Structure 1
Amino acid sequence: MRTLITVLLIGYSGWACADELRWGFATADGMPYVDVHEQQLRGGVIYKLGQLASQQLGYQAAFVETPNKRIDEYMQRGRIHVICNSNPQWIDKPERYQWSVPLYSEEDVLLLHRQHAPINSLQELHGKTLGTQLGYVYKSELMEAFAKQQIIRQDLRDHRAGLNLLRKQRLDAIIDMRRPLNFQLAKRVDAPLQINPWVIDRYDMHCTFSPQLPVSAERLDKTLQQLRDQGLIEQMLNDI
């Protein structure tokens, strides 16, 4: 989840079972974070993390697909209580929410066709078409280049569609998190694609807590921190 959340003043309405802890997820994050089948979360780091943390807190985990444009609405209404793969820098007025400690880190990198020369700076992307995820917020310099149309942003339907376009060289590059790209390349060892060495951005990943959280934010944060410190989150990231 990495979308600019805007302020919505929406009253709370109850959803489902009071003993549920509802975790939002973004299908576009892809594996190893989310494994989605028929719009249901069936596996991945977010699924495992949600199940384990909920169990330790005495709640039943539930998972709700959350479109980027609906995150704030869902959080304010209590349709979801937690959403992870988040960072305060991506959110409008992050002080409106409580946050977990950093749980792991990620990097934004480029995926290139092997026939494409390496890219080492933002200026080398000028005039090129870059595959992106709909609604995602990237490093401020890159967002500015999109706004000025120095770099052409092309939102992709999903990872598979983006990889097919890049294989056909109908895109110059794709920007994504390193782990999902590594996962996709491991499934397509014969694809003429490679990760570019230049790291565009590094950042910590957190979970964001809804004001309608049924457990105290302090308890949930402590539980997540313990899972991190015990090495269990790192194990989830590496076991996929």
Structure 2
Amino acid sequence: MSTFFSRPAWLLLAAASAQAAPPLHIGVAESDAAPIVVLNAQRQLDSGLSKDLGLALAQALGSSARFSVLSRNRIESALEQSKVDVVCNANPAWFGNADKLGWTQDFYPQIERVATLASHLRTIQGIQDLAAQRVGVIRGYHYPALVPLWQNGGATRVDHPQLDSSLKALQMGMIDAVVSSELELAAWVKRNPQPGKRLRLQPWVVSVLQTRCAVAPLSRYTVAQLNQAISLLEKQGKTKRIIQGYSWKTS
């Protein structure tokens, strides 16, 4: 007797549904430092927060995830041309073409801080304390809170391709300060404990911005579908657990 119908019908339907759902194509910026993005020797996405959250988001959609590593200068055009479905370490304030894209609800917060050498003579408690300083930032990124500094020439913006090169320039005395997220700074110190001892995390919080997913005009998943998936991950506590796994624990 044939056993073709021995598997429960719901398993067959679930498998067919999973196969039918298109993969969520996620773009990630190669300039994002660990733990946001971790690349292998072939410059492919290896691990990190973007990968873990992307896999969880795709699973919540009943789909699979496909990742493309892009230069920061290609992120906006790749989205606008729908070469990827989403970029999720994003915020409208960081994008020059934000009005041409869809935007989900908040996903997780990015807190920007200022790092200097421990020997730095100033305590950075506000934007005025960066006056006449050489400030290292990531090339192609927007820093709304620091725009007044760039516009009036009160400080010098020094672009670097990645956080690692910016912090190396700081260690060599080529710049005076670095602006980056707490998560990225903590991950760098964990990977570089000796030079990390020379760093000082300044008290001023440059910005607290919630990241969202930027959605391409022809994305295979709508903003509404993505919002539902993000809400599900939040309700299940998955987003919080993933982020806590990358938090810097001093003990």
Report TM bin, short chain. Answer: 0.7 to 0.9
The alpha carbon displacement at 1:74 in A equals: 1.1
Shift of 1:93: 5.6
CA offsets 1:167-222 (integer angstroms, 9 cap, x no match)? 22221010011110011112222221121111111111111111111123211220
User: Which residue of 218, 226, 229 corresponds with 2:224?
Assistant: 218
> Quick check: 1:54 aligned with 2:58?
yes
Q: 1:131–1:174: 8 Å Cα contact kept in structure 2? A: yes
Q: Is 1:26 aligned with 2:29?
A: yes
Aligned mates of 2:98, 2:163 — CA distance in 1: 28
Task: State the shift of 1:48 in Å.
Answer: 1.1
Contact 1:27–1:34, Cα closer than 8 Å, also in 2: yes
Deviation by residue 1:135-191 (Cα, 9 ceiling, x = unmatched): 111124x11311332111111132222222212222101001111001111222222
Q: Is the 8 A contact 2:33 2:164 kept in 1?
A: no
CA contact 2:78–2:84 (8 Å) conserved in 1: yes
Contact 1:32–1:237 (CA<8 Å) still a contact in 2? no
Residue 10 of structure 1 corresponds to which residue in structure 2? none
Letter in 2 for 1:177: S
The residue number in structure 2 matching 1:154 is 158
Work out the CA distance in 2 between the residues paired with 1:52 and 1:105. Answer: 17
Secondary structure of the residue that 1:190 maps to in structure 2? helix
Q: Is the 8 A contact 2:113 2:202 kept in 1?
A: yes
Residue ranges of structure 2 left out of the alignment (5+ in a row): 1-20, 247-251
- Match for residue 133 of structure 1? 138
TM normalised by structure 2 equals: 0.82
Contact kept in structure 2, 1:129 and 1:151, CA below 8 Å? yes
1:197 aligns with 2:200: no
| Contact 2:117–2:170 (Cα < 8 Å) also in 1 | yes
Relative distance call for 1:53 and 1:121 in structure 2 (3 A) is: closer
Partners of 1:46 and 1:223 in 2: CA distance = 15
Deviates more, 1:75-84 or 1:90-99: 90-99
- 1:166 is matched with 170
Farther-moved stretch of structure 1 (129-138 vs 93-102): 93-102
Q: Which runs of 5+ in 1 are unaligned?
A: 1-17
CA distance, structure 2, for counterparts of residue 155 and residue 195 of structure 1:
20
Kindly indicate whether the alpha-carbon contact (under 8 Å) linking 1:228 and 1:234 is maintained by their aligned counterparts in 2: yes
Other-structure match for 2:242: 236
Output the CA distance in 1 between the equivalents of 2:95 and 2:80.
14
- C-alpha displacement at 1:60, in angstroms? 2.9
DSSP-derived class of the 2:244 partner: helix
RMSD: 1.9
Letter of the 1:131 partner, please give it.
G
Question: Does the CA-based 8 Å contact 2:116-2:177 persist in structure 1?
Answer: yes
Give, in whole Å, the separation in 2 of the partners of 1:221 and 1:39.
30
Any conservation in 2 of the 1:104–1:205 contact (CA below 8 Å)?
Answer: yes
C-alpha separation in 1, matches of 2:54 and 2:29: 14
Alignment partner, residue 113 of structure 1: 117
